[in-house]
Amino acid sequence: MLFMCFMILGLVMYPFIFIFDTICYWWFILLSLLFLFIICIFNFYKIFCFYDFIYMDFGFDMMSFMLFSLAIWIIFLMVFSSFSFYKSSNFLVLCLLIMFFLFCCFYSLNFFMFYFFFESVLIPTFILILGWGYQPERLQSILYLLFYTIFASLPLFMSIFYLYKYSFSLNMLYLNYLILFNFFSNWLIMIWFFFMIFAFLVKVPIYFFHLWLPKAHVEAPLSGSMILAGVLLKLGGYGLFRMFNVFKFILLFLNCEFMMFIIFGSLLSSLICLSQIDLKMLVAYSSIVHMGLMITGLFVFNSFSINGSLLIMISHGLCSSCMFVLVNIIYERTFTRSSLFYKGFINIYPGLMVWWFLISICNLSAPPSMNLLGELFIYMSLIIFNNILIFILFFFFLFCSCYGIYFFYSSYHGKMNNFYSMKWVCVREYLVLLYHWVPLNMFILKSDLFMLYY
């Protein structure tokens, strides 16, 4: 309820923005987001079950609480890193609107309300990319985003009403224990199961349904890339988990086929990363690789794999967002994202090189990042599930290491070009990197907090 009061306060203040100084309003939003995040952390003890405010189909558990806390932190860093937009009050209200839709999406206990807010996030994302995107092709990328996600969501929309027809309820708590499969034959269950999860597989996305993601990332501003990689991709993993609670029995028959399909797509994505010269495209395809591993862990659906998937969702949200910040810092000084021109930066920005190295090894799942713990849990689950997967996981880890090293080496080593701008990295940009790196590595000291969910 505190969050809803905060949102109402922000929307009520919008007509008075022109009376007060805009930069004061910018700092008010920034400090309010930080205060809201601290409030959420102090209420951590309430998240062991769906009970905090189960009213009008709203409530939360460990996974929804963690992902919404991640959303608050990423939006706080969005506002903090977008200082050039501080004169635009529309940008700040748009960030608040995204956070409101994410709050309703993560805390919805009703499948229809979850679907409604799941699709509503597209509206402020559309405006954000169209209004503050860099390139003239941003309209094409938005159309890719809308048509991919909306087309994939139509089967989910129909299946939700079909679910209500036979269960007379769309409440997640009730459907967790409901046997729905007495009404259908086996092949109808499989088709229905695919329709229910297809929207989330596209939203994550997995390979073969991923073409909207690189285009959206390339054309989006820094804040758009941060919210896309940091939070919006996690909506797919969160929705899959909610659906798996209903269709847990069908996973016993189909999880092996889906897992092989997704791991094969992640291997192809890691090879595509090695051929990229646009570093923003490289980071976008690396998101597909790690999200594929996360979904594979969800399909195993045991204690280790689900906790590992939750860890990867949180750690990837911080790591990929920070990688986009790094690419944007260099882009603002060279006006290009091509790695062919990113050479010899170690001579100009040695301090930034340290951060580039720290984030690169976190993306490689080096200790002490949370990526390491999450991937270890998923690797153990997959090997226990089938010993043959150890050979596929070997090549998966090898290719991920190769493109991670390429991401670092292509920028800071080699012969230096002569056209670099000598614009120094400011303290605010270093603070944005620090605020990504600290939770990504320090939370491993309290990793037991992420082991309480399942």
- Separation between Cα atoms, residue 171 and residue 112, nearest integer Å: 9
For residue 168, which of 158, 181, 178, 182 has the smallest C-alpha distance?
178
Q: Which domain holds residue 363?
A: 303-454
Task: Judge whether 440 lies within some domain.
Answer: yes
Task: Judge whether 205 lies within some domain.
Answer: no
Task: Judge whether 38 lies within some domain.
Answer: no
At 179 the pLDDT is 52
| pLDDT tens for each residue of the chain, 454 residues long | 444 444 444 444 444 444 444 445 566 666 667 666 666 665 554 544 444 444 557 777 788 888 988 998 998 898 888 877 656 678 888 888 898 899 889 988 888 889 999 999 988 988 888 888 877 778 888 888 888 888 888 899 988 888 887 777 788 777 755 555 555 556 677 788 888 889 999 998 888 888 899 888 888 888 889 999 888 889 999 999 888 887 777 777 778 888 888 988 999 999 999 888 888 899 999 999 999 999 999 998 888 888 899 999 999 999 999 999 999 988 888 888 887 777 777 777 888 888 989 999 999 888 888 999 999 999 999 988 888 888 888 888 888 888 888 888 877 776 766 555 567 888 889 999 999 999 999 888 877 777 755 5
For residue 171, which of 18, 3, 58 has the smallest C-alpha distance?
58
Beta bridge partners of 108: 58
pTM of the model: 0.89
Name the domain count of the chain.
Answer: 1
